[in-house]
Amino acid sequence: MTPRTTPSSGSEPENTAEQSAEKTSVAKRATTKAAEAAEAVQKGTAKKATAKKAGQKKTAAKKTAATKAPAKKAAAEKTVAKKAVTKKATAKTAVSKATASKAATSKAAAKATASKSAAGKATGSKDSGAKDTTTKKAAKRIPAQKAAQKKIPAQKAVPRPAEPVEVAVSPALDAGDRDRLLAGTHHDPHAVLGAHPVPGGVAFRAFRPYALSVTVVAGSLRAELHDDGEGFFSGLLPLREVPAGYRLLVEYEGTVQETEDAYRLLPALGELDLHLIGEGRHEELWRALGAEPMTHQGVTGTRFTVWAPNARGVSLAGTFNFWDGTGYPMRSLGGTGVWELFVPGIGEGELYKFEITRPDGTKTLRADPMARRTEAPPNTSSVVYASRHEWGDAQWLARRGSVPTHAAPFSVYEVHLASWRPGLTYRQLAEQLPAYVKDLGFTHVELMPAAEHPFGGSWGYQVTGFYAPTARLGTPDDFKYLVDALHQAGIGVLMDWVPAHFPRDDWALAEFDGRPLYEHEDPLKSAHPDWGTLEFDFGRREVRNFLVANALYWCEEFHIDGLRVDAVASMLYLDYSREPGQWVPNEHGGRENLDAVAFLQEMNATVYRRVPGVVTIAEESTAWDGVTRPTHVAGPGGFGGLGFGLKWNMGWMHDSLEYMAKEPVHRKYHHNEMTFSMVYAYSENYVLPISHDEVVHGKRSLVSKMPGDWWQQRANLRAYLAFMWAHPGKQLLFMGQEFAQGAEWSEAHGPDWWLLDPAYGAEPDHRGVRDLVRDLNTVYRHTPALWQRDTDPSGFQWVVGDAADDNVFAFLRFDAERAPLLAVSNLSPVVRDDYRLGVPDDIPAWHETLNTDAARYGGGDVVNPDPLKPEPQPWHGRPASIRLTLPPLATVWLRPA
């Protein structure tokens, strides 16, 4: 086959001269209207010349017109005669050219084709004289033919071989490009669609399925393109360059749309972005991928970009094209696996997905992994979004990093937003949640995952929209409004973040482009055995980039003050919940997931570097060394620290709850469960968590875990909370436990707020526990001894830790100035009068600052109303001692008087 003139020129070449001539004829018919319009544009431009020059050109044009037709006719007759003599054949009509061409050599065939073309043009010129009697189709040929005749003078010496001339090509797409566009497998649609200079002018091509017509509009230029079938339109305009800012007028049944041509625009994603994406180091990935409303090359619209390196093709589908992505193919940008399309006229609120052609040729419709807004479940579309929220929390951000978290008060109220007060939106929550939390004295709230998730019963821990707040409660700006309101109330905002795994929904991340992409390609490493989900491939740099940038996104764009990273243990160990034979050791033969370790270190280092004042918190339930150690400091195992700021103390939580669940008569046999935590209390920076996980799935609520009757249950709960607040470490309490809710938490109806209704008979019991929580936080915030040295062993001393028979625990906490607080817990149901405790001898007197048995909390009001003066009797290894009354099932805090 004869090769094409240019990669983008015309339809597929043919083997015969007749077919070539027919192809040229079709091209001329397709561009007739375009030529007329272009000629009009050129005439309009000529008017800018002087009147004299215009007159000269007009005169010359008349002379040329007077002589052009006879000359062409004569040239055509001479050419036919020449052919007849050369081939020694009987002269026939011009229709017999094909026979002559078949008998000639390839060189002679080329000459015959050229002569035949000239003859055809001359004949057309002669026929054009009868304009009034010709059909509409014949009339359309005239301008295109005239444009072609201007090149004939190059063949003046008819007897001699003609010089090579530039032959106009067909603007129509070749079969290969058409097929790939229709199949959704074209990697570079911009190279064939849009406007492109070609021999003979500028080729305009559009792919508009279901359109009735497409017209190019540029100033006074108005050229209707030829309908090539299957939604393709093309035309060749005799222009010297692509007209700037041309538009398309697209007619559909019942409507006409005027729009910019998306395929005339350069990529809207820069080379630096692509380079950083390729390296896996784009720390603002959300600014490069996803849907970004913007103005590009003076055109307003939205840039769509997606990472899908295994895809054979990607198209954009949405409400703007009736969810048919055929006419919106995206282009592949280099070897990064990124596909891009800037769509003019598309703005905020439009729904969209990516239509991906898998390696096997099948198609899948996927939500945008980088979508910053989504539809509310069960709908799954992504939504074009641009933020307009104006922040008012500058003062909070300026001071939040002034004191390190581990050396500051840190008391956390954990909240599931959708069920805290069911039915409230983000903005409605902003009117109620900050006031409630501030009244109780918590320093922070921790939001269970706010990112979009399809199944409400997962509580947000199976995320599909990692960059979008759940649309159940409002828009991303509404969520920002809530965070802003909390900050302005002086409350920090932590958020649960889930980088360990994701669900298998076929519209989300699983095998996103037809092959394992975000998940590991090895099923032994990708399938999570506990939750039926897929684990991220932490060894792939683009996946690490996706997650690291996501952590930064929440902190920078939503002003989140900290991330509690979920399920860290499942990430760290290759054999997590796996039996022998179900996991593959690392390169050193060990069970550590080295890729996950590297990811967590990178994430923590990057977040702390870019967003000063934030804190990262690990939910990690094993004895992994160095969870809160800096990443550059290696531990005994040879690993650098993971770099977290805090770690949940799961051991303390399990041990202490197990102790409290025992009947007091049996507690002396489990005394060590309350003291063992101090053996490792300073190995990490700890948070003491009573989280949602401890009050669901048959575990019972916190008060219901306690033994005894209703009075004893509440007394045990109050004593336990005060013991927890005094213990080294930060505090976290899940919603509903602050007022002794008896039922387990359910995401369907949330806390039982009716227990605080004054009309309810037992309301004082529940209100009393909530009042205690308020006072615990108040005293806590104003007593540096309870938080200033949480991670320093010098901030804690046991007074008595071995009084198992008495069920008594007593210890001292110290602040940086050595000012003490004495905490004493009597976890037996008997009053202990004149109980002697050893104390420092430099404190002249102690007074009771908090007693969980006080009547206002619902207790028996066994208190120590008077100051307690030390006696010079040594006790518990100290030079002095005090005697006090210990209430039953209660904790007492004492401070220097």
Closest CA to 502 of 555, 556, 538: 538
Identify the CA nearest to 785 among candidates 800, 798, 796.
796
* Dist CA 486 CA 435 (whole Å): 9
Classified as helix, coil or strand, 246 is coil
Amino acid at 254: G
**Cα separation of 252 and 814, whole Å?**
78
Give bridge partners of residue 357 from the DSSP assignment: 313, 363
For residue 192 the two structure tokens come to 């064939």
List, by residue number, the catalytic residues. Answer: 566, 619
Residues across the chain: 897
Q: How many CB atoms lie within 10 A of CB 341?
A: 27
Residue 588 sits at φ, ψ, to 5 deg, of -100, 5
The CA angle 604-609-614, to the nearest 5 degrees, is 70
Closest among 211, 295, 193, 204 to 246, alpha carbons compared = 204
Residue in 733, 721, 677 with CA at minimum distance from that of residue 410: 733
Tell me which amino acid residue 826 is. N
Contact, 702 vs 789, CB < 8 A?
A: no
Backbone angles phi, psi at 181, to 5 degrees: -65, -40
212 token code pair? 């009735």
Alpha-carbon distances, residue 22 vs 18, 149, 307, 626 (angstroms): 6, 17, 44, 78
Alpha helices in 469-526 (DSSP H): 476-488, 523-526
Show the tokens assigned to 640: 């650098």
**Rounded distance between C-alpha atoms, residue 103 and residue 83, angstroms:** 12
Residue 247 β-bridge partners: 217, 260
756: exposed, middle or buried (C-beta count within 10 Å: 0-12, 13-18, 19+)? Answer: middle
How far apart (Å, rounded) are the C-alpha atoms in residues 483 and 448? 14
Sign of the CA dihedral with 163 first, then 29, 59, and 74 last: positive
Say how many CA atoms lie within 13 Å of 781 toward its Cβ: 16
Determine contact, residues 756/767, Cβ cutoff 8 Å: yes
Distance CA 598, CA 616 (A): 16
Helices and strands, number each (H, E), in the chain? 23, 35
Encoding tokens for residue 695? Answer: 């009050």
The neighbour count for residue 2, using CB atoms within 10 Å, is 9
**How many beta carbons lie within 10 A of that of residue 112, not counting itself?**
22
| Angle at the Cα of 167 from the Cα atoms of 162 and 168, rounded to 5 degrees | 160
Amino acid residing at 22: E
Q: Do 69 and 125 contact (CB within 8 A), yes or no?
A: yes
Q: Which helix (H) or strand (E) holds 78?
A: helix 51-86
